[in-house]
Amino acid sequence: MKRLFPILAILTGIFLSYALYLALVVAPTEQTMGNVQRIFYYHVPAAWTAFLLFTINFVASIVYLARRSPIADAVAVITAEVGVVFCTIVLITGPLWARPVWGIWWTWDVRLTSTLVLWLMYVSYLMLRRFSTGGQTPVLAAAVAIFAALDVPLVYFSIRLFRTQHPQPVIGGGGSIDPRMLHALLINWCAFLCLAALMCWSRYRLEILQKQLDEAQAMESLAARGTR
């Protein structure tokens, strides 16, 4: 498996490069916004990837509370970490796209505010996991993760339920999109998914090694106490 990781990393890099080529060269220029609209091919896939990772975190947290599974707990931590990375990309690319189109970097409408709240809740989750050392930390973190996941459908459906400055969806929202744009969008999302999977795999290996190290240190501590 260790030998397979570099191969998958190279293939993912090639896939990302091809997706970049589609977004910057093959996809047509949007008539109203111009080339700045090409941020769309990163902003939207990053959001979809973050939503998927937070959903996996939600399921893993429920499984952990039900079965106290260490694997479920590890999956929950990993998907939260990688999900925050992609949610950060959303929060960075959004203002970069909004400034030349709206004339402002940020507006406190429902979509943008709920996305920021989502990011803050998962950052709080990670801070709890990082700095709390109590035995009930995984349980408390799982509860926080389940609560945070409730914001995911609010973010997704906000532009359908409320009148916001954020553009209405062009997929599944009654709009239309050029087939070449849709192709570039979906390829970029697939590339982002491959990158997310690679990041999660790498982080999972580190998490397992960390747990093994913690267990070994705990056993050494018990052994040292027993010899006194």
Residue 193 located in a structural domain: yes
* Separation of CA 185 from chain center: 17
Number of domain units in the chain: 1
Query: What is the Cα–Cα distance from 138 to 77, expressed in whole angstroms?
Result: 9
Distances 108 to 89, 130, 166, 218 between C-alpha atoms, Å: 18, 30, 10, 48
Q: Which burial class, exposed, middle or buried, applies to 61 when counting CB atoms under 10 A from its CB (0-12, 13-18, 19+)?
A: buried
Residue 42 located in a structural domain: yes
Report pLDDT digits (tens) over 77-105: 999 999 999 999 999 999 999 899 888 88
Residue 33 located in a structural domain: no
Q: Which domain holds residue 188?
A: 4-27+38-226
Q: In this model, does residue 48 exceed pLDDT 70?
A: yes
What pTM value is reported for the model?
0.89
Residue 32 located in a structural domain: no
Pick the range with the lowest mean pLDDT from 61-75, 119-133, 168-182. Answer: 168-182
Residue 181 located in a structural domain: yes
Residue 48 located in a structural domain: yes
172 band by pLDDT with thresholds 50, 70 and 90:
low
